[in-house]
Each structure stands twice: as structure tokens, then as C-alpha cells.
Amino acid sequence: MSSLLVPEPQVTAPVAGRICPSDYRYSPSVLARPPELAADVLYTIGGLYGNLQALDAVERLATAEPVRPTIVFNGDFHWFDAEPAWFGEIEARVAPHPALRGNVETEIARETDIGAGCGCAYPESVDHEAVRRSNDILAMLRRTAAVSGAERLRRLPMHLVARVGGLRVGIVHGDARALAGWSFAHDALDHADSIDRLAEVRRLSHIDVFASTHTCLPALRDFTWPDGRLSVVNNGAAGMPNFFGSRYGLISRIATMPSPHTPLYGIRRGHHYVDALPLAYDCHAFRERFREVWPKGSAAHASYYDRIISGPNYALADARPTGAEHIAG
């Protein structure tokens, strides 16, 4: 017998912020159910991140619609509002509307910390310090929620199904398989293996359009097979800029009628419209409130202040759909 010692395989311990908890997961088939909502105009507001000024901008868009939109918050409406009065304002204004819990709401409302950190399930492309800072933000927000109350958040669903005209719309936070899934990120949608993966999602879910957020960068993609079609619209962030050099948020609009607001980009599906609408909010007021809670040197300031001021390193062209169905504002 050899006297050489064979090293044991190295096991990487789960890292908070990169974990996708088991209770985040579901099958696309759970969406093959009767819709809970019906609307002629549907707004999905993902990634509000506590931006009250962005909420004001949503209301201005809604009042100009030919019919009152159904407004759905598809997660992460809390984030920067780690102060009881601010947190309470967001709760009061979101509560009257249908909403999903994103990873933020799920983790701040947990009665027992399971070590998931922020629950973002960040991929390896996100650097360690950014993950650590997100966990720190979540810890501060959890302390705020403990004071302000988070019982309502525990009861929110992970997904909803809506009917908009003849379309079945799956409203999710992450993707068709997990609350913190990343397969509706722009780069994942453009990956070579996405066609077969999305064809299976469509077959199992019976969904025509998915409206998502979570990845914090927007995208609109449209896929057609001989037996059907699937569109995915990811609004990125309603409460922060989404493109380099910009200072507006973004929401998704799915409707049976054209928008009275000029979309940044969109697609037509027969008599239906799927659009990305810019959300022009009061940047100065939001920035000042942000800095009151997150001064220079804080976790959120380090991670997000440059984006709030100048936008991310992401171009509008990266979000736009391509092909014959593409329409641009």
C-alpha cells in the first residue's frame, strides 16, 4: 500500500448572498394555472428599491393612460429604505396593489435567518465585495423591518399569472424556476442554449410573456418556434438608472392598446403591446434621501451611488429586442 496521502477533495462552503435557497425554487408548471389578474393595461414595477420619487413618476404615467393600469410590484420594492419612516412610506404606498416578494422582502421577513444573506444568488461574475455589501444592506434593512413590521411581506406570493387581452403573462421576480433565478438576465437570454431552455419553459408554463426584474439590468427578448412564441421583458430597475449616462428608471407595460407614453423600445404581439417605459423621477430628491441613510463610506453608497448619479456600464442597445417584431420609440 502506498504511503502517499491522497488529499481530500476541497468543498467550497456556501457563501451568503450567492445561495439560492431551496424555498425559492418552483417548476414552470406551477404557472400553468388560471390567472389571478385580468387587465387591459398592466404595469410591472420591479426593483423600486425604496424610491418614493419613482413611485410618484409611476402615478403620473398611470393617470395619463386611456384606462387605469393594473400596477403590480414584482419584488425588491424595499432596499434603500433602511429607516423606519421611509420603510413605512413604501409599505403604505405598495400595499394597495398586487405584489410579489422579491429576495429582499423574503429575507427581511424571515423569522429565522438561514444564512442566505441578501438572497440575491449572485453569479460568480459579481465580485466578493459587492456581495458582502449587499449582505450588509440586507442586515440593516432587516433591523428596520423588525421595528416597522414585516408580517405582510411573509404572505406575499413568489409569482402571479395575469391575463392581458389574449396573452397569459407570468409575473415573476427572478425567472421561471426560482425567485432569485438569473436565466432572464440579458446575457443568459442571449446564450446559445437559451432557445431549448425557453422552449421547455413555455411548454410547461403555458405563458406567452414573462415579466421579471431581479438582475438589475433590463432586457426584452422575443422567441418564436413553429408551435408558438415566448417573450421575456425584464425591467431592470424602476428605482435606479438602467443605462450609462441616464437618470431614469424603467418599468414594463403589457397592454391591449398602444401606450400614450413613448417607449424606449418594445414589441408587438398581434394586437398586444409589450413596452419598456422610462420613469423620469426627481433624481435630486431621491439622491438626498439616499445620502441621509447611506452616507459616503456606507455599504449602499459604495455599491450604488455612482449608478444613481451616472447609470451603470450598460447600453440601451443591449436591452433592445431585435428582429421583425422590434419597435422602438
- What does the pLDDT average to over 5-18? 56
pLDDT digits (tens, 9 = 90+) for 214-240: 999 999 999 999 989 999 999 999 999
With contact defined as beta carbons under 8 Å apart, do 119 and 106 qualify?
A: yes
- The pLDDT, as a whole number, for residue 14 is 60
Please write the tens of the pLDDT for every residue from 270-282.
999 999 999 999 9
Least trusted range by pLDDT, from 12-16, 122-126, 322-326: 322-326
C-beta separation of 34 from 207 below 8 A: no
Classify each residue of 165-178 as buried b or exposed e, where b means 16 or more C-beta atoms within 10 Å of its C-beta: bebbbbbbbbbbbb
**Domains of the chain from N-terminus onward:** 26-101+157-328 (3.60.21.10)
The pLDDT of 76-81, averaged and rounded, is: 97
Asked if 269 contacts 309 with a C-beta cutoff of 8 angstroms, the reply is: no
- CA atoms of 256 and 40, how far apart (whole Å): 5
CA atoms within 13 A on the CB side of 188: 16
Q: Could you tell me if 81 and 138 are in contact, meaning their C-beta atoms sit under 8 angstroms apart? A: no
Within 8 A by CB and 6+ apart from 100, the residues are: 72, 73, 74, 75, 156, 157, 158, 159, 160, 171, 172, 173
Residue 267 to residue 328: CA distance in whole angstroms: 8
pLDDT, mean over the chain:
92
